[in-house]
Amino acid sequence: MIKLISANLYNNAKRVMLRKTTFGSVIINNNERYFCSTTLPVRDDSPNVFEVTKENFEAEVLGAKVPIVLDCWASWCGPCVRLTPIITDAVEAQDGKVKLAKLNTDEQPELAQALQIQSLPTVFAIHNGKPVDNFIGLLGEEEVEMFVQRAAALED
């Protein structure tokens, strides 16, 4: 039997967690099968996470009052999907000292081109309208948390 859910599989080697983000696959967890449909990986219940478009990029990212972690992703990118809950949790743990901007490169190709995105995921820390740090690819949970903590410390 396959149950339909809208969730993301996040596996950190010790446990399996289901999260509401994006995925399109069958997940086997404790011998139960789940089909995860694709949804937008932006928490709509958080003031610290938002979707980036070419219309709001300048005001919301470059003109932000707090540091921004800009996550450039695509729904077909497996590492992007695995990064989403890790980076979201790391940002939420900073209690508003940093915000997470999610840029879907398939939906915003002009912006991705302007940022010269060549690999996914690509993540930038932006402070005072300028990129000050970045990483490309999927990092471990601790490395992502340290990246977000460094970005949050830029507020001071």
End-to-end CA distance of the chain: 53
Active-site residue, selected from the candidate residues 49, 52, 77, 123: 77
d(CA 156, CA 152): 8
Nearest to 19 by CA among 50, 45, 41: 41
> Token digits for 101?
């901007």
Cα separation, 91 vs 13, whole angstroms: 21
| DSSP assignment of 52-114 | --TTTIIIIIIT-SS-EEEEEE-TT-HHHHHHHHHHHHHHHTTTTSSEEEEEETTT-HHHHHH
φ and ψ at residue 36, rounded to 5 degrees? -105, 120
- Select which of 68, 80, 83, 123 is catalytic: 80
Active site includes 77?
yes
Active site residue 36: no
Active site residues: 77, 80
